[in-house]
Amino acid sequence: MPLTSSSIRRRQVDISPALRDAAIPEVLKRVYAGRGIQSPQELALTLDQLLPPDGLKGIADAAALLADAVEGDARVLIVGDFDADGATSCAMAISVLREMGLREVGYLVPNRFEFGYGLTPEIVDLAAAQTPDLIVTVDNGISSIEGVAAAQALGISVLVTDHHLPGEELPGAEGIVNPNQHGCAFASKSLAGVGVMFYVLSALRAELRQRGWFSTEGITEPNLGDALDLVALGTVADVVPLDRNNRILVAAGLARIRSGRARPGVEALFEVAGRDYRQATATDLGFIVGPRLNAAGRLDDMSIGIECLLAESSMEARERAETLHRLNRERRDIEQTMEQDALKQLASLSFDSAELPFAMTLYDPDWHQGVIGILASRVRERIHRPTVVFAETGDEILKGSGRSIQGLHLRDALDQVATRYPGLLHKFGGHAMAAGLTLAKSDLPRFTAALEQVVADALEQVPPVPVDDSDGGLSPGDFSLALADELSRGGPWGQHFPEPTFDGAFSVLRHRIVGEKHLKLTLVKEDAEIEAIAFNIDVDAWVEAPPSEIHALFRLDVNEYRGARTLQLVIQSFWRL
């Protein structure tokens, strides 16, 4: 069970007159209002509603730089990142640039265990062996000041495309496209790396069209809609906020996947997971497909994932996807062992939930550095504290991966640590909710104390209390397959546009344990029986004293079994009554 208790907070909504008059279910109106939707027009997720590319600072220069490379038959090297966002960005850049007529385009992804993140001077040395004329970073590069300088010293131009938060100094690249760089007026600051590259390729296509390249060379203009399956996958897997612009991109990508027009690699990743891509949802991208792609970068080499996405035949894609599926199983096994170790560490600490520190750091010399980010998420979920988990990288250096809570910007907190204690952090970077760093092993106690103080100051010395948001209660008639389908179609749901959740009291009619740690329930609400499932429960506590009544936070789901579709509640948390 979590070390902290939580409470339910029902969203306070004010449904606008325009939304109230819309022809959508009343429950969905309430849900949309709770996410800031005021007008039905905001629910239009067609591609013509996308923000235009020219709002991105530096995109015209980037398009010109790439167009010169295409026309000049230059050798271009894509330098990516080792996660799903980086892999989708890389695969999209390579495939689309080839369609535009660029003959020599390759890629290089740093192995996280040897080189770490970004365009470092060491990665430039590796890149130089391929003698590129232009390096294009995807999902990285905004902090690669030394790496960009090293490339330019070798006569290699650099175009940085990234979405991470920049530092005070920017690299001196020939071009930079990042919605979060100073002076960029682009209205959506939440683009993933794959979204940024999608916009760059859109601008490049327009530039080449203006130059008459396609007509002169007899090349059919690429349909960038073909890349939207990758954009949707990378966007959801990177857990960026689904503002309207990102929802448009994800909705279009999901529509493409469901219609059978995704690339073979994406379909193969659904198939090896036992999922029907024709029923694809954003949840599938985030929790089924994304983790299998990420497993390559966590345990091996992300080139396996990129090659899966670049596969042109179903046979080749299936082979690559099977490898990713196997790596994901290995990742789960490693993660479970590490989580057990972490729980033992937490149990050995001499404080209860009321005495938890403001921030938690955990370290074990045997932990796998490719899985520490997932472990940080698991611990954060249990204790509701910003958590940084460390693993060894060799040479007495620790690599840390952190996850935060709402209200605490983790990257800014690390910046405060670095400012107060110069030299303590070797490197750091990231987002509000996730960040990474390296430091000397001997400095771990000092970092733990420093982070604790910085987080306590940021939270004004008030310990954070987890709160679960609910869209309210449901009437007996709302527990229907029809409403579950309406809510599913009402997305895409995701970060900052969360899937609808509700709460209410139920009687427990029957229960049984399935899969060793999951609970199947038959609940009763005003004489109506409703099937439900709760994942990863404390089995011992339930078996010892099963409650007859519960108050649950849940979402409506559709259970499909042997061709039959039935309503099922997925319980996120519950309390005894």
Alpha carbon distances (Å) from 553 to 122, 182, 473: 49, 41, 10
CA torsion through residues 315, 320, 323, 324, sign: negative
Structural domains of the chain, ranges and CATH numbers in brackets: 52-326 (3.90.1640.30), 349-458 (3.10.310.30), 469-576 (2.40.50.460)
Q: Is the pLDDT of residue 3 over 50?
A: no
168 falls in which pLDDT band (50, 70, 90)? confident
How many CB atoms neighbour CB 21 within 10 A?
A: 10
The reported pLDDT for the residue numbered 167 is: 84
| Strand stretches in 83-210, DSSP E | 104-108, 134-138, 157-161, 175-177
Q: Which element (helix H / strand E) includes 513?
A: strand 502-514
The reported pLDDT for the residue numbered 6 is: 60
Alpha carbon distances (Å) from 141 to 84, 101, 348, 357: 16, 25, 41, 34
The reported pLDDT for the residue numbered 560 is: 84
151 touches 135 (CB < 8 A)? yes
The reported pLDDT for the residue numbered 395 is: 85
350 falls in which pLDDT band (50, 70, 90)? low
Q: If DSSP states are collapsed to H, E and C, what string results for 454-505?
A: HHHHHCCCCCCCCEEEECCCCCHHHCCHHHHHHHHHCCCCECCECCCCEEEE
108 touches 127 (CB < 8 A)? yes
Residue range 10-49, pLDDT digits in tens = 999 999 999 999 999 999 999 999 999 999 999 999 999 9
Residue range 542-561, pLDDT digits in tens = 878 888 999 999 999 998 88
Q: Which element (helix H / strand E) includes 429?
A: strand 427-430
Q: Measured between alpha carbons, how far is 468 from 7 in angstroms, rounded to an integer?
A: 6
Is residue 10 helix, strand or coil? strand
Q: Closest Cα partner for 363 from 338, 385, 382?
A: 338
| Side-chain-facing half-sphere of 419: CA atoms under 13 Å | 9
Q: Measured between alpha carbons, how far is 253 from 114 in angstroms, rounded to an integer?
A: 34
The reported pLDDT for the residue numbered 288 is: 95
Strand partners, 553: 503, 573
**Both tokens assigned to 114:** 């040897």
Q: Closest Cα partner for 546 from 502, 505, 513, 503?
A: 513
Q: Measured between alpha carbons, how far is 236 from 105 in angstroms, rounded to an integer?
A: 26
2 falls in which pLDDT band (50, 70, 90)? very low
Q: Mean pLDDT lowest for which of 222-226, 340-344, 352-356, 364-368?
A: 352-356
Q: Is the pLDDT of residue 353 over 70?
A: no
Residue range 399-451, pLDDT digits in tens = 999 999 988 999 999 999 999 999 999 988 877 888 899 999 999 999 999 99
Instruction: Identify the burial level of 138 via C-beta atoms within 10 angstroms of its C-beta, where 0-12 means exposed, 13-18 middle and 19 or more buried.
Output: buried
Residues in the chain: 577
Residue range 61-73, pLDDT digits in tens = 999 999 999 999 9
The reported pLDDT for the residue numbered 394 is: 83
Residue range 261-299, pLDDT digits in tens = 999 999 999 999 999 999 999 999 999 999 999 998 888
Strand partners, 169: none
Q: What is the mean pLDDT of the chain?
A: 93
Q: Is the pLDDT of residue 4 over 50?
A: no
Residue range 98-142, pLDDT digits in tens = 999 999 999 998 776 666 678 999 999 999 999 999 999 999 999
What are the DSSP calls for 179-241, one per residue?
TTSTT---S-TT--HHHHHHHHHHHHHHHHHHTTHHHHHTPPPP-GGGGHHHHHHHHHHTT--
**Both tokens assigned to 147:** 């790496």
162 touches 182 (CB < 8 A)? no
Q: Measured between alpha carbons, how far is 247 from 563 in angstroms, rounded to an integer?
A: 30
CA 93 to chain centre: 19
161 touches 193 (CB < 8 A)? yes
1 falls in which pLDDT band (50, 70, 90)? very low
Q: Which element (helix H / strand E) includes 394?
A: strand 387-394
The reported pLDDT for the residue numbered 542 is: 81
Q: Measured between alpha carbons, how far is 411 from 476 in angstroms, rounded to an integer?
A: 45
The whole-number average pLDDT for the span 500-507 is: 96
326 touches 308 (CB < 8 A)? no
Q: If DSSP states are collapsed to H, E and C, what string results for 46-79?
A: CHHHCCCHHHCCCHHHHHHHHHHHHHCCCEEEEE
The reported pLDDT for the residue numbered 354 is: 59
How many CB atoms neighbour CB 524 within 10 A?
A: 14
539 falls in which pLDDT band (50, 70, 90)? confident
**Both tokens assigned to 274:** 């036992």
Q: Measured between alpha carbons, how far is 559 from 563 in angstroms, rounded to an integer?
A: 10
